[in-house]
Structure 1
Amino acid sequence: MDTGSSFSWFPCTKRYVCKNCSVLSTFIPRQSSSSKIVGCMNPKCGWVHKSFNQETKCQNCQSNKQNCTQTCPPYIILYGLGSTGGISMVETLNLPHKKVQNFLVGCSLFSSNQPAGIAGFGRGKSSLPSQLGLKKFSYCLISQKYDHTRKHSSLIMDSESDSDKKTENFTYTPMLKNPVIPGNAALSEYYYVGLRRITVGGHKVEVLYENLSPDSSGNSGTIVDSGSTFTYMNRAVFNAVADAFAEQVKEYGRAKIVETLTGLRPCFDVTGNKVVRMPELKLHFKGGAEMALPLENYFFGVNDGKMEVVCLSVVTDDSLLGPELVSGPSIILGNFFMQNFGVEFDLRNQRFGFRQQFCS
């Protein structure tokens, strides 16, 4: 599930090429009577290829638009560390209480460094919320401690709710309007929120306003992205946050070797400590909403058998684990931050809600 992109896709050929990724059962379109390849003149082709000009690209359709057999061009989608490619098709999506016909989905033929498929929950026309007409959706991510078990996180999709009332114990902040930049359609996919301040141990981290609000080129600002593991901060914001921890943590020594090996920093040697104490990390949003994070949500434990180390689970441009971003949001709130939080995307009222809870 990815709130940072909209197009949904999965493997759909027995000859699926998957490099450095896992493959689940494969869907074979020929075995379904309701599967159809998207035609070149189909408006949904433009959902996949955002800058697609049907008048010039669908040349074989100009004389016979009603019965044109020219198909929508293949897609290639690039992600932070990988890619996928295939053909667009429409299929009937069967839900417990609803059938959605002509649901646009990607029939992927190859992938690199990706999961077995992606369910797009972004703001674009091709996303599940848009195609299903959802009023809101919410999820609760279990702790990463259960990564190697059969436990699953919960997802609720609501297409009926028209209530303006707050969900019990949820705190809300408005979703911001997406910047519109010609040639950068990816910005329209994101859920921007107004992060106004970051505090470490109760002390305000000095972050320039220009890093918290998108500029005329679509750079800066904060988005919520369930498809990112660790939270990303651009170098200026990250350095300020990392320095705040380094200055306040005096009880533990720095684990420089682990920092070099992982690309994460700061890392602290906590060997022999049954209880680890760190300054509280708190996010302050527009409208007064505050997210106080549990320690396990922003520090990651590393144990190599010789020493126990905890590292700040935030990445930046110069991190071995970070995306190589030169433009776009300054801060990407990833799913590690959100474990054991109920989060809600209230699309009807354009607000983002959250509450700390045990996700089971």
Structure 2
Amino acid sequence: MLDTGSDLIWTQCQPCLSCTNQSFPLYDPSQSATYSPLPCSSKLCQALPQSACHAQCLYLYDYLDNSFTVGTLASEAFTFGSANNVTVPNLGFGCGFQNQGNFNGIAGFGRGPLSLISQLGVGKFGYCFISYDDDDSKSSALMLGSAASLNGSSTNIQSTPFVTNTSQPTYYYLSLDGITVGTTRLPIPRSAFALQQNGTGGVFIDSGTSFTLLTTVAYELVRSAFLSQVKLPVANGTAEGFDLCFSLPSSPSAKVDVPKLIFHLEGADMDLPRDNYMLQDSTMGLMCLAMFDSGSEISIIGNFQQQNMHIVYDLDDQKLSFAPAQCDQL
């Protein structure tokens, strides 16, 4: 998984004490001539938030959803590209022998020294996520360096600056000024999204978080706006894991009107298509708001809201650019 909300690159390794099931063989370091454990004195080992030294650098790396990986920090040669392969030697990564969570590996694209983007030293990267309901024959796109450019891909390119948070240097913070539902800009206080001087609060974009999370005051206003503007019966979506759901009309041809949703960022409006915030399950007869209360001072723009959007992280110019796109055709 590509994760802009973390730094470590890791994969599951043999011998494994506890690993998530995967459809392909575990990476076996004993079969690689280019694998090398990193010493505890290495800069990458010292950059780990939690580590231990037993002749080599051991790590514990955990995530906001309580998943984690434990293993050996090592270096390996990585090959990139689908047509013209490029091999980069000596990239630091985690060889995980005890892992808990839903993933068999993560490519950290955060702003810290351990991340893939930092180790490669490229000043720009981008991605374009296909729709959640697309089949396995389609794939999302990842672009590095000059290939990440949005030039010519759309006339709807918008950009917003990154916001620096020295207390949480990994995350890509943005300035979210407000939210519109339908034609109404909601009366969300600016403090709901403000990054505080002590590093708490704020809003960041994260490719590794599924659904957008908003602070309680912001979420309740968004939820209330959809409740009042969607003219469908409210349904219980607890079994599906959602907070706000509506019952769809029994006739498949019946028109369902859904209000627009716009995130007002500094200098840019992220005008989301309906499929990026309403999850429709025709078999269950439900349509659910794909957004939740974060239960904290932090708000996160998740990957469901980023479907079919070409997004570029420009680290040189310190800005995020985005434009609508048909991601399976990039």
Same fold (TM over 0.5): yes
Q: 1:150, CA displacement in angstroms? A: 2.5
Equivalent residue number for residue 275 of structure 2: 296
Q: Is the CA contact (8 Å cut-off) linking 2:37 and 2:72 kept in structure 1?
A: yes
Deviates more, 1:33-42 or 1:210-219: 210-219
Q: Is the CA contact (8 Å cut-off) linking 2:60 and 2:68 kept in structure 1?
A: no
Q: Structure 1 residues 326 and 294, CA, compared in 2 at 3 Å: closer, same or farther?
A: closer
Q: Determine which of 314, 322, 326 is the counterpart of 1:354.
A: 322
Q: Is the CA contact (8 Å cut-off) linking 1:164 and 1:349 kept in structure 2?
A: no
1:84 matched to 2:64: no
1:189 counterpart SS class: coil
Q: Determine which of 172, 186, 202 is the counterpart of 1:221.
A: 202
Equivalent residue number for residue 130 of structure 1: 118
Q: Which has the larger radius of gyration?
A: 1
Q: Is the CA contact (8 Å cut-off) linking 1:226 and 1:334 kept in structure 2?
A: yes
Q: 1:156, CA displacement in angstroms? A: 0.6
Amino acid of the structure 2 residue aligned with 1:280:
K
Q: Is the CA contact (8 Å cut-off) linking 1:135 and 1:160 kept in structure 2?
A: no
- RMSD of aligned alpha carbons: 2.4
Q: Structure 1 residues 244 and 73, CA, compared in 2 at 3 Å: closer, same or farther?
A: same
Equivalent residue number for residue 66 of structure 1: none
Q: 1:346, CA displacement in angstroms? A: 0.9
TM-score w.r.t. structure 1 length?
A: 0.82
Q: Is the CA contact (8 Å cut-off) linking 1:214 and 1:221 kept in structure 2?
A: yes
1:145 counterpart SS class: coil
Deviation by residue 1:236-285 (Cα, 9 ceiling, x = unmatched): 21111101111222x21111x22x32342321111225332111001111
In 1, Cα distance between equivalents of 2:147 and 2:227: 48
Equivalent residue number for residue 226 of structure 2: 245
Equivalent residue number for residue 8 of structure 1: 9
Deviates more, 1:41-50 or 1:197-206: 41-50
Q: 1:99, CA displacement in angstroms? A: 3.3
Gaps of 5+ in 1: 59-68, 182-186, 318-324
In 1, Cα distance between equivalents of 2:252 and 2:146: 48
Aligned length: 321
Q: Is the CA contact (8 Å cut-off) linking 2:15 and 2:97 kept in structure 1?
A: no
Equivalent residues in 2 for 1:185-334, closer than 5 Å: 187-249=168-230, 251-255=231-235, 257-258=236-237, 260-271=238-249, 272-274=251-253, 275-287=255-267, 289-305=268-284, 308-317=285-294, 326=296, 329=298, 331-334=299-302
Q: 1:221, CA displacement in angstroms? A: 1.3
Equivalent residue number for residue 155 of structure 1: 142
Q: 1:286, CA displacement in angstroms? A: 0.5
Q: Is the CA contact (8 Å cut-off) linking 1:293 and 1:337 kept in structure 2?
A: yes
Q: Is the CA contact (8 Å cut-off) linking 1:225 and 1:334 kept in structure 2?
A: yes
Q: 1:97, CA displacement in angstroms? A: 5.4
Equivalent residue number for residue 34 of structure 1: 34
Q: Structure 1 residues 241 and 326, CA, compared in 2 at 3 Å: closer, same or farther?
A: closer
Q: 1:160, CA displacement in angstroms? A: 8.5
In 1, Cα distance between equivalents of 2:146 and 2:122: 4
Q: Structure 1 residues 280 and 72, CA, compared in 2 at 3 Å: closer, same or farther?
A: same
In 1, Cα distance between equivalents of 2:23 and 2:110: 23
Q: 1:75, CA displacement in angstroms? A: 2.3
Equivalent residue number for residue 113 of structure 1: 101
Q: Is the CA contact (8 Å cut-off) linking 2:9 and 2:94 kept in structure 1?
A: yes
TM-score w.r.t. structure 2 length?
A: 0.89
In 2, Cα distance between equivalents of 1:276 and 1:164: 33
Q: Is the CA contact (8 Å cut-off) linking 2:126 and 2:143 kept in structure 1?
A: yes
Equivalent residue number for residue 18 of structure 1: 19
2:306 counterpart SS class: coil
Q: 1:16, CA displacement in angstroms? A: 5.2
Equivalent residue number for residue 94 of structure 1: 79
Equivalent residue number for residue 49 of structure 2: 49
